[in-house]
Amino acid sequence: MPQTASDSELSRHDDDTPVAGLLVVWSDGRPQLASMRIPPPGLILGRTNLAGFEDDRLSRQHARVRWTGTQFLVEDLGSRNGTFVGGSPVAGEVAVSPETVLRVGRSLCLLVPDLRPFVDGVVSHDGGVIAGPTLRRTWEAAARAARTGKTLLVTGESGVGKELVAKAFHAATGSTSELVAVNCAAIPAGVAERLLFGARKGAYSGADRDAPGYLAAADGGTLFLDEVAELELAVQAKLLRALETGELLPLGAARPQSVSVRVVAATLRDLRAEVAAGRFRDDLYFRIGRPDIAVPSLRERREEIPWLVSQATHAAGLPAHHSLVEVCLMRAWPGNIRELLGEIGAAAAIANEAGATAVRADDLSPTAGIAFAPAHDASSPATKAPTPGTPTPLPSHDRIVAVLRDMAGNVTRAAKQLGLHRNQLRRYLAKHPELEGDSDAHEEPGPEA
């Protein structure tokens, strides 16, 4: 196995001094999570210290990485297949910001300013759910909240896995009763009260039997209110009363019934801002708003991305190519896990239809994982469409060579990855016969690189 920063070595840094290094997140054609500390003279990457990963595209001394205290310095050491940072080839020594993706051979690394959060080096699968060290710490915080109180507010972007935090909270309570999940945003206007608190027979037209609500269903367990900010103010008032008194009054009932529930509320909104705007009751906020946990976005826990990508492509019957994983690591994924899995599924369908042997970067939609941007004036020079017939500007020569190698010389795939028409790439190759060996000049998918 590669030389990694050991638990004991990192644990000696009890003065809160960061330990800069690399996280190897992909090698051997599969996801990994191995930490490599960068010593003061720098870390040389190659077959000598990545031998455990058996990457046959690594040179014996492939690249050197140094840490200055504010940035990384990456230098290619004359490797046979090149060194890439952020998808671009390295010429000489380049300064690189923390969290940049480094590719040597077919191995992918994240340059991180502090390895200590990854000291356990574990990405686990819980019932098919992938959780890296960052997410697991969030779950642990939810479990602590469950042991000391009866409420928790979970915040975070859409698709980060807020319900998984609610499950961690519920599991830590030790209750044998259910976790009842309610999507407040999906409840039609006017029926939230009936669905939450239940109704007695005859309470409204068509009520031919008693209907218990979500609170009653969660009695003794946990009620998960996803998108709680979407509840109407009148329903918020009744919910507060039920939580304060331990009693709920179903529609049409003459007497309240006792109920004991723990509540996990989740929202992607700023509840304090909602209170200030008069859209959320301050008294309910003070009842359910503490403690609170923010779930990190996927771009804050990128160590999970190779595992998620691999899981999704294998579910479609194909392996993930390192080019796909590299691109996914570099994108923002505003829709988080929900977006990533959907886009990888679509890419795998394209690869399957083409008869490919792996899902590659060029199977992924160009807009997948890209952060949203405001619309621009169509007449603005920066956003004008090119004049019909105007060729797309060519990338650098080094970029073309690198992509041809990544695509195993397949011109069609290389052109797609470069954003060119294949005939435009062929004309370029005709002017550079020295690249003939990097091109197979075929339209069919090339062999695995």
- For residue 342, the model assigns a pLDDT of 96
| Residue 146 DSSP SS3 | helix
Q: Is-contact 397 420, C-beta < 8 A?
A: no
Helix (H) or strand (E) holding 11: helix 7-11
- For residue 423, the model assigns a pLDDT of 67
Give the chain's end-to-end CA distance (angstroms, integer). Answer: 23
- For residue 205, the model assigns a pLDDT of 54
The upper half-sphere exposure of residue 316, i.e. CA atoms within 13 Å in the direction of its Cβ, equals 26
CB neighbourhood size of 437 (10 A): 9
CATH classification (class only), 7-118: mainly beta
Q: Is-contact 197 210, C-beta < 8 A?
A: no
Domain 133-294 has CATH 1.10.10.10: no
Phi, psi of 291 (to 5 degrees): -70, 165
Distance CA 290, CA 271 (A): 11
Residue 134 CB contacts under 8 Å (≥ 6 apart), including other chains? 117, 296, 300, 301, 303, 304
pTM greater than the 0.85 cutoff:
no
For the chain, residues with pLDDT lower than 70 are: 1-15, 51-52, 200-211, 251-254, 373-393, 422-423, 433-449
Distance set, CA 425 to CA 82, 331, 354, 440, 448 (Å):
21, 26, 21, 13, 21
Distance CA 245, CA 243 (A): 6
- For residue 389, the model assigns a pLDDT of 43
Residue type, 69: G
Where b means 16+ CB within 10 Å and e means fewer, 267-293 reads bbeebeebbeeebbbeebbebbbeeeb
Supply 273's token pair.
Answer: 């801002």
- For residue 383, the model assigns a pLDDT of 41
Strands (E), 90-159: 93-96, 101-104, 107-112, 124-126, 129-131, 151-155
Residue 70 CB contacts under 8 Å (≥ 6 apart), including other chains? none
CATH classification (class only), 301-363: mainly alpha
Strands 43-45, 63-67: pairing is antiparallel
Describe the crossing of helices 322-330 and 305-315 by its angle, rounded to 10 degrees: 130
Residue 148 CB contacts under 8 Å (≥ 6 apart), including other chains? none
Distance CA 32, CA 18 (A): 22
| Domain limits, the chain | 7-118, 133-294, 301-363, 397-438
Supply 35's token pair.
Answer: 């930490």
Q: Is-contact 72 101, C-beta < 8 A?
A: no
